[in-house]
Amino acid sequence: MNADSLRKILDLEKQRGYADTAVFGGLDKFLRNWSARAVESIGNPRLLARFHKLFKADYAAMTPEQRSQWVQDVLEFSGEMEGKDSTVESPPQKPPRKKPVPGVKKTTAPAGGPGLDSPVTIVRGISTSLSGKFGKLGVNTVRDLLYFFPHRHLDYSKMKFISQLAEGEEQTIVANVWQAQETRPGGRRSTEAIVGDETGNIRVIWFNQPYLAKKLTTNARIMLSGRVSLFRGLHVFQSPEWEIMEGQDLVHTARLVPVYPLTAGLRPRQVRKLMKDFIDLWAGQVTDFLPPELRKRLGLLELPAAISQAHYPDDETTKNKARVRLAFDELFLLQLGVMSKKRDWQESRPGSPFDIKQPIVDKFVKSLPFTLTAAQDKVLKEILADLAQSKPMSRLLQGEVGSGKTVVATAALLVAAANGYQGAFMAPTEILAEQHFATICQLLSRLGQEEGEGYIKSYTGFLERPLKVALLIGDIKQAGKKQIQKQVLEGDIDIIIGTHALVQKGVEFHKLGLAVVDEQHRFGVEQRSALREKGFNPHMLVMTATPIPRTLALTLYGDLDLSVIDELPPGRQTVKTKWLKPNQRESAYAFVRKQINEGRQAFILCPLIEESEAIMAQAAVVEYERLSREIFPDLKSGLLHGRLSSADKDAVMESFRGGGLDILVSTPVIEVGIDIPNAAVMLIESADRFGLSQLHQFRGRVGRGKEQSYCMLLAENPSEVARERLDIIENVQDGFQLAEEDLKMRGPGEFFGTRQSGLPDLRMAKISDVALLELARTEAIELFQVDPGLDKTENRLLAQEMTRVWAGAAEWS
């Protein structure tokens, strides 16, 4: 049993203020389990006595002070246990069964199996130095290694006779070695062999591998997998995978052969061989945590079989079944986790129900220079209904840029203020915070009288008292900031707008009742929780312009309810989009020039370069210099990239917004999600490198003013798939439709980095698995209704798996 897992849990518990939330289903259950397993390995009687005393405790029944003391004691104890009685940590030297057939039988081992949390060094063939290399790949424990899945498989399963070999494709033969010798083609020490079967002979060459000559003895039977090419009119096998056939399981040839992610110092053959032995020995040790009834009903493979087949599949069909099982696990655990998080904070701590002062809302809505769209109307009703509950709102509001989310959020903030609560509005950047401040002030000024200037404004006309709105960003001078902070603390400010700094640094609220967070993808789970910790368990509205298909949103954000503004205000222009051939580059520049002459401004977006932000910045500098010297020497261009200081970024943005620049050259990583109505042209370089949703986001940066706007896409040599994307973006304006298309083409990791969002990793699940996503969700909801704490016997292993996955996944603090 691993003292490390206990320490992690206790640390988490400590961070969360001893609220008994570190483990799914409560700490006691976990402790009982942990101690039952740990006790066996304590030999020292003195330690054993202390152990029994400590673990008799009923954590749930303790006061927070007692809990803190107890956790302290246990942490100390576990340190001693490790220091003085190393048997606690020492893993079994080998798994109990010699060579289980994966997935056929299970041992009666406790959940997780013995040793799965042990370091990989206990695996035969993994030395300390090798374990370091695996460590670089994120593989530290036996379990990690079991879940260290190949990127893909090479299909070497189709056997051919030598006479049937064709050039180009991957093929496998079995042959006899006639002769093998070292040669030096072009000075490279290599091995050349002639091999044959009953249909003919073929030459084989392995460049740079002279040592093979000795291994391939005459008459050895070998299997070769690889590609055949033509050399001087004859077929030659070039550096194929090889394997001498001695009746054992094949590892490198004649099957679906795994291709593992590698790092320096790991060789493919070595890893494959090692993994084969490892999987054969260990996959059977894994205990299936899915309740058997569920697994059978859904026709999923058993976990040991799924793991083993994901590495060394028997065939394509089984490989897919293995992936489905493992993907289901990921999605199911994800869904259960987010649902239980939601329950934890929604039901354990009541929020503040607001009285929906409808006359105030109506007055605000009537004061607007437009009528709300039907979608805005519906969403506002959903939000107001939430605010009236004592269960704090936790809602994700999706809507394209310009769909009118801010207006709706402002109405909600007004209701908070009318109830005597404060509202916070958070933006991802200072520029956007300023913009929101300006927008909200403008919306409020329609009816109320505006007073004050700078960073605090006050409006009469909505409430009996003046409504005060403030902006808090780094730009404000220290004295002003102090003043605002003081007023926020004293409850003098009703609505405060700023960046994440609002929750991170020293801002204390008098009575925070509603938090609005703009741009979900910049604002992870942790920040959301931090915000809740600001006290009063505020209602929370998270807004995003990233169109996430409903199923996916519900899965990844199962802790949020979902509202969608799926309609733009009337009269919005569409951005004319055109994919240009490389030889139309000149005319693209001419078009930019023409638009600028007509008084517009243009964005030029530099290509996405995978290597690093530094290289991308460098490339942008070069492109900027080329454009401003050679193409547009007479126009005013500015440059924006991630390596600039935020002050410099702001200065460039300000200058562009103020019309001081005609062209803004920028890297794609830069947030230009800002309203510049006069910008009417977006030119995107190497557009084939971007996904559809990204292209759509970029395009959304123009088309905000009255003038017709344009988006031009340049792509030098697009692949087949990229052409398809470019065709779609040319013809489709609807962000949701684009997102759906996008998801069909890409995986979830790419579309939505789960790593950053504080959720467990999705490795096997693809977003195109819509049916599986829905299945996992339905099953999770059903299970949650019957057994929300996963207390039933048949769900015990699942509860443990939940704890493990979620404790490892996130600093969910």
Tell me the window of 52-60, 365-373, 492-500, 753-761 that interacts with ligand ADP (CB under 6 A): 365-373
Tell me the window of 402-410, 465-473, 534-542, 738-746 that interacts with ligand ADP (CB under 6 A): 402-410
Tell me the window of 240-248, 367-375, 631-639, 723-731 that interacts with ligand ADP (CB under 6 A): 367-375
Q: Verify binding: residue 401, ligand ADP, rule CB under 6 A.
A: yes
Rg, the chain, Cα only: 31
Q: Considering only residues 100, 113, 404, 513, which one is a binding residue for ligand ADP as defined by CB under 6 A?
A: 404
Q: According to CB under 6 A, which residues from 508 to 547 bind ligand ADP?
A: none
Query: Among residues 216 and 516, whose Cβ is nearest to ligand ADP?
Result: 516
Give the Cα separation of 8 and 50 in Å (integer). Answer: 21
Give the Cα separation of 585 and 580 in Å (integer). Answer: 7
Query: Among residues 221 and 521, whose Cβ is nearest to ligand ADP?
Result: 521
Give the Cα separation of 732 and 574 in Å (integer). Answer: 10
Burial class (CB in 10 A: 0-12, 13-18, 19+), 490: exposed
Give the Cα separation of 120 and 100 in Å (integer). Answer: 19
Q: Verify binding: residue 407, ligand ADP, rule CB under 6 A.
A: yes
Q: Verify binding: residue 399, ligand ADP, rule CB under 6 A.
A: yes
Dihedral (Cα; 370, 371, 375, 381), 10-degree rounding: 120
Residues in contact with ligand ADP, total (CB under 6 A)?
14
Query: Among residues 373 and 485, whose Cβ is nearest to ligand ADP?
Result: 373
Q: Which two tokens stand for residue 519?
A: 């741009």
DSSP H or E run through 742: helix 735-745
Minimum CB separation of residue 286 from ligand ADP in Å reads: 47
Tell whether the torsion through CA atoms of 250, 253, 258 and 261 is positive or negative: positive
Tell me the window of 368-376, 411-419, 477-485, 721-729 that interacts with ligand ADP (CB under 6 A): 368-376
Alpha helices (H) along 56-199: 64-84, 128-136, 142-146
Q: Considering only residues 372, 497, 515, 541, which one is a binding residue for ligand ADP as defined by CB under 6 A?
A: 372
Minimum CB separation of residue 596 from ligand ADP in Å reads: 24
Three-state DSSP class for residue 25: coil
Query: Among residues 27 and 568, whose Cβ is nearest to ligand ADP?
Result: 568
| String of contacts with ligand ADP for each residue 416-445, x by CB under 6 A | -----------------------x------
- In sequence order, what DSSP letters do the residues of 110-137 get, joined into one string? PTT-TTTTSBGGGSTT--HHHHHHHHHT
Check if the beta carbon of residue 670 is closer than 8 Å to that of residue 624: no
Q: Considering only residues 353, 466, 569, 705, which one is a binding residue for ligand ADP as defined by CB under 6 A?
A: 569
Minimum CB separation of residue 439 from ligand ADP in Å reads: 6
Three-state DSSP class for residue 364: helix
Q: Report the residue number whose CB is nearest to ligand ADP.
A: 404
Give the Cα separation of 37 and 29 in Å (integer). Answer: 13
Tell me the window of 265-273, 347-355, 397-405, 628-636 that interacts with ligand ADP (CB under 6 A): 397-405
Q: Verify binding: residue 403, ligand ADP, rule CB under 6 A.
A: yes
Tell me the window of 188-196, 211-219, 395-403, 651-659 that interacts with ligand ADP (CB under 6 A): 395-403
Minimum CB separation of residue 739 from ligand ADP in Å reads: 16
Query: Among residues 33 and 544, whose Cβ is nearest to ligand ADP?
Result: 544
Give the Cα separation of 170 and 207 in Å (integer). Answer: 18
Q: Considering only residues 110, 402, 452, 747, which one is a binding residue for ligand ADP as defined by CB under 6 A?
A: 402
Give the Cα separation of 746 and 214 in Å (integer). Answer: 46
All residues at 6 or more sequence positions from 52 whose CB lies less than 8 Å from its CB, including other chains: 39
The residues of the shown chain that bind ligand ADP, judged by CB under 6 A, are: 370, 372-373, 376, 399, 401-407, 439, 569
